Structure 1
Amino acid sequence: MQPLRSTGPGEPDRPLPIAQVSTGMTVVDAAGDEVGTVTAVEMPGTEVRPDVPEEQAVRLMAEGYLRAGGTGLLATAWYAGGSQVADVTTTAEEGVVTLTADKHQLHRAG
C-alpha cells in the first residue's frame, strides 16, 4: 500500500510523490540540473537510517527519502526528503524525479 496525501475535504487521497519513485530513475533538481540516479527509496516511517547526521536522519526517516548519486569512484551521493519530491514522470523507457530543491539544499551522504 502506498502512503497517501489528503487532497482536501471530499476529494480522494493521492499517493505521495515519494511512493512513485523507484531505483534507476533520473533525479533533477529545481533548476533542472541532473543530480544523479535513484539508488534507494524509503517510505515515510522507515527504520532504515540514512548516512547523514542524526538530526537530518530523524527527519528523513519520518518523511521518507530517496538516495541519488552519480557513477564512479568519486561520485557524491545525496539524500532528498519525501517533501522535496515535486513530481515523478515515467515513460516506458525511463522515469524522472523532479525535486523542489536545488542540489545545494540536499543532504550529502557521508
Structure 2
Amino acid sequence: MDTSPELWGSDWAEFRPERWLERRSGSSDEWYFIARDPFTYPVFHSGPRTCLGKEIAVVIVKMVAVTILKRFRIIPAQDNLSQNSDAFITSWMKHGFPIRIIERH
C-alpha cells in the first residue's frame, strides 16, 4: 500500500513531506499536519495486527535522539542569523537553520 499510485499519486517514490500537509483556508503560507489513518499508511499495520514492537520502536528513536544530543553540541553555523520565522504549531525558520555539529568532550 505504501507504493500505491492510487493512494499517493504517480510520484509515490519521491520524498515529499508535504503529502501530510494542507494549506489553511484563506492563507497562502500557513500549513497544518494531516495524520493519515494507520489503514492508509500501514507502517506498523493496524487493527488487531498492530506491530507489537511499535511502542519499543518509538522509545528506541527517542533514546537515539537523546544519545546523539548528549554526545554532540548543535550550534548555529552563523552568528547573525535573521529570525524570520513562520507561525505554526511549532515555529520554524523560513530559510532553514544552518547548524554546526561539534563533538562534546
Asked if these proteins are the same fold (TM beyond 0.5), I'd say no
**TM-score (normalizing by structure 2):** 0.23
The structure with the greater share of residues assigned to helix is 2
**TM-score (normalizing by structure 1):** 0.22
For CA contacts below 8 A with separation 6 or more, give which structure has more relative contact order. Answer: 1
